[in-house]
């Protein structure tokens, strides 16, 4: 009777329930295979075997056991889905993706470099053209200003002459 109430208060872990054995307080599976997740244990057991998992958990530090169980569950699930490659299949897909993305990145960087060099050359050309145009404009401005000032002088000279003439005429 008391054993029945103890059974209900602490249900066996998923491993002990599956293996039909008494789940002791020292059970190495209990913290990582709760009774609410029976599939987690059956998957790991199917691929690695309960005794191998128990042995592995006893060989590693207690703080590493949760990560170990989670990685075993991941690997076991991948192996059941892909009996040939397991999680190596997923790793290969990701490695190919990394290689493809690295090539894309290299090509994009090369394009960027070419574009930057082209822009730089273009800017230099624009600067040179601008320089030439400034010189040209400066020269043009110089020449007409010389001419215009000369013409203004002529005009003012004429005007002065006219004024002088007019003045002379008036006086």
Question: Which spans of this chain sit near Zn ion (rule: CB under 5 A)?
Answer: 13, 16, 23, 27, 29-30
Q: To the nearest whole angstrom, how small is the minimum distance from the Cβ of residue 4 to Zn ion? A: 18
Do 30 and 23 contact (CB within 8 A), yes or no? yes
Q: To the nearest whole angstrom, how small is the minimum distance from the Cβ of residue 108 to Zn ion? A: 54
Q: To the nearest whole angstrom, how small is the minimum distance from the Cβ of residue 19 to Zn ion? A: 8
Q: Which is nearer to Zn ion, 13 or 76 (CB)?
A: 13
Residue-by-residue DSSP string for 83-151: TTTTHHHHHHHHHHHHHHHHHHHHHHHHHHHHHHHHHHHHHHHHHHHHHHHHHHHHHHHHHHHHHHHHH
Q: Which is nearer to Zn ion, 30 or 76 (CB)?
A: 30
Q: To the nearest whole angstrom, how small is the minimum distance from the Cβ of residue 29 to Zn ion? A: 5
The 3-state secondary structure of 15-47 reads HHHHHCCCCCCCCCCCCCCCCCCHHHHHHHHHH
Q: Which two tokens stand for residue 40?
A: 């987690």
Q: Which is nearer to Zn ion, 35 or 89 (CB)?
A: 35
Q: To the nearest whole angstrom, how small is the minimum distance from the Cβ of residue 46 to Zn ion? A: 18
Q: Which is nearer to Zn ion, 23 or 53 (CB)?
A: 23
Cα angle 89, 94, 95 (rounded to 5 degrees) comes to: 95
* Contacts made by residues 85-93, CB under 8 angstroms, sequence distance 24+: none
Q: Which is nearer to Zn ion, 13 or 44 (CB)?
A: 13
């Amino acid at each position: 009777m008391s054993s029945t109430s103890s059974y209900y208060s602490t249900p066996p872990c998923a491993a002990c329930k599956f293996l039909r054995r008494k789940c002791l307080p020292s059970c190495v599976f209990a913290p990582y295979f709760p009774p609410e997740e029976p599939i987690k244990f059956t998957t790991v057991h199917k691929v690695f075997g309960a005794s191998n998992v128990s042995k592995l958990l006893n060989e590693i530090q207690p703080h590493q056991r949760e990560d170990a169980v989670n990685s075993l569950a991941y690997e076991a699930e991948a192996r059941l889905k892909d009996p040939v490659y397991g999680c190596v299949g997923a790793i290969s897909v990701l490695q190919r993706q990394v290689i493809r993305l690295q090539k894309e990145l290299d090509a994009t960087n090369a394009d960027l470099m070419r574009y930057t060099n082209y822009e730089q050359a273009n800017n230099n050309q624009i600067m040179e053209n601008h320089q030439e145009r400034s010189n040209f404009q400066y020269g043009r401005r110089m020449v007409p200003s010389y001419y215009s000032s000369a013409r203004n002088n002529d005009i003012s000279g004429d005007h002065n002459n006219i004024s002088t003439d007019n003045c002379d005429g008036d006086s």
